[in-house]
Structure 1
Amino acid sequence: MKLINLIKKVIDPNHCSNEAYINYLKRNNIYVGDHTIFYSPRHTSVDIQKPHLISIGSYCKITTGVIILAHDYSISVARRVFGEFIGGTAPTKIGDNCFLGMNSIILPGTTIGNNCIVGAGSVVGGGVP
């Protein structure tokens, strides 16, 4: 088992552990609070296209398959019809002591307050107090 972990660490050092993934996110200017845990960093996606727009609070538990976004490039379809316009990015904030269930998706512009639970498979947009 140690050999497999070593190979994973060499191939993808940024996703080999919770600590490595948090360091990777912080190096990319994403705020991650203390004691937050990514249970499956290899299967979690935090949008690094607009890193300054994402913040994740302290004591959060983020499970496998979670996607956290700060941009939406589907707007490019409308741009062909209506021309150039502003949009497609928005701040995404997750409060302290939150649990994000398996395969949940946090859309751009979402604010999740403190002490919230997002159920498995949820798509969350807007505000959750």
Structure 2
Amino acid sequence: MMKVWNIIKRILKREKYNSETYVNYLRRRGAKIGERTVIFAPDRTIIDMTRPWLIDIGNDVQITAGVTILTHGYDWAVLKGVYGEILGSGGGKD
């Protein structure tokens, strides 16, 4: 029965099934993540992947439940509201 539950859990949680699958997913998307990084509760951790090239997590990092990592700030929204479209706000690797 436990094997069936693990299969169901893997289907439901997809890339957030466990730390290893989530770290590998983040790396595939372009985030730089060091060795021995552990995300203790991937299903309760939010990592903004709108600009994955901005994520750089070192070696031996442990991320616990409830952590949110953003690749953007609210400052762009404020500037856009005041001045209209801001050059460079679209991100990009260069």
| Larger helix fraction of residues | 2
Aligned with 1:12: secondary structure? helix
Residue ranges of structure 2 left out of the alignment (5+ in a row):
none
Q: Cα RMSD over matched residues?
A: 2.3
Q: Are 1:7 and 2:18 an aligned pair?
A: no
1:112 — aligned with what? none
| Corresponding residue number in structure 2 for 1:103 | none
- After TM superposition, what 4+ stretches of structure 1 lie above 3 angstroms from structure 2? 86-90
Q: Is the 8 A contact 2:79 2:86 kept in 1?
A: no
2: CA distance, partners of 1:58 / 1:89: 29
Structure-2 change in CA distance of 1:49 and 1:8 (3 Å): same
Paired positions, count: 90
What aligned pairs does 1:1-129 form with structure 2 within 5 A after superposition?
2=2, 3-73=4-74, 75-86=76-87
CA distance in 2, matches of 1:72, 1:4: 39
**Larger relative strand fraction:** 1
What TM-score do the two structures reach when normalised by structure 1? 0.60
Distance 1:76 1:64 in 2: 28
Q: Which has the higher contact order (CA 8 A, sep 6+)?
A: 2
